[in-house]
Amino acid sequence: MKFGFLLFLAIFACAAQAHEESTIEITNLTAAELFEGLDHGDFDVLVDVRSAEEYATGHIANATLMADLAVEGFPSATPDDLAGCENCRVALYCRTGARAAVAATHLVEAGFHVLYNGGGVTQWTAAGYPLVTGTDSVVPPCTVDTTVSEQCTAATHAEDDHHSSFGNTNWDGSRAALVVLGVTVLLL
Ligand SMILES: *[C@@H]1O[C@H](CO)[C@@H](O)[C@H](O)[C@H]1NC(C)=O
Ligand SMILES: *[C@@H]1O[C@H](CO)[C@@H](O)[C@H](O)[C@H]1NC(C)=O
């Protein structure tokens, strides 16, 4: 009986873990991967989390400036400037990648799902890619066009389904193994 209860707990621990792993991704990109991704349209939003002064000295083309996103203690709520983009693919960059990493965790807390740390302009320029000046921060289409938000949501749900069926396969596998083990022990 006691063993059966422990078995029961173990099954639920496995199921909870599989579920948690399926939800959040922060992918670190090299400068070349960021460049290729932008070139192929792999991101819905490109966010610069440096200061307005740094942005003005040169930024990646079509970036949205969101300096507050990397500030310590940023509230766990959807940042207004990205409302509607929660299910979209968001790439972040700063000077070296450190602030982008902090900003990515803030977006995870705010309910965003697909995040890329694109590193910093230091790596970007060292790899020979250009910065632009004199253009305004871009308004991300997902913040103003519900059609774009809905496309992101549809894509994310398809991805979640894929992940959860993947997780369920693992869960079913470990459950079957535990049931076999439990029955064996009871029979002995
Ligand atoms: C991505 O980079 C951050 C620091 O910039 C690091 O803490 C994290 O482990 C890296 N993630 C992966 C999957 O390598
Ligand atoms: C920036 O956005 C404009 C308008 O969507 C587009 O025409 C242009 O190709 C983009 N620039 C880069 C470098 O992606």
Sequence ranges of the domains in the chain: 24-159
pLDDT at 25: 77
Residue nearest to atom 9 of ligand 1 (CA): 28
pLDDT < 70 regions, the chain: 1-23, 72-80, 159-188
**Residue 84: left if φ>0, alpha if ψ -120 to 50, beta else—which one?**
left
pLDDT at 44: 96
pLDDT at 3: 55
Closest ligand relative to 101 C-alpha: 1
Rg (CA), the chain: 21
Closest ligand relative to 62 C-alpha: 2
The distance of Cα 85 from the centroid of its chain, to the nearest Å, equals: 12
Ligand 2: atom nearest CA of 39 is 14
pLDDT at 110: 85
Nearest to 100 by CA among 113, 86, 117: 117
Exposure on the CB side of residue 164, measured as CA atoms within 13 A: 9
- Is CATH 3.40.250.10 what the domain over 24-159 is classified as, yes or no? yes
pLDDT at 131: 98
Probe ligand 2: pick from 62, 64, 133, 148, max atoms within 8 Å of CB? 62
pLDDT at 119: 98
Q: Which two tokens stand for residue 84?
A: 């509607």
Pairing of the two strands 89-94 and 64-65: unpaired
pLDDT at 19: 46
pLDDT at 24: 73
Q: What is the pTM of this model?
A: 0.74
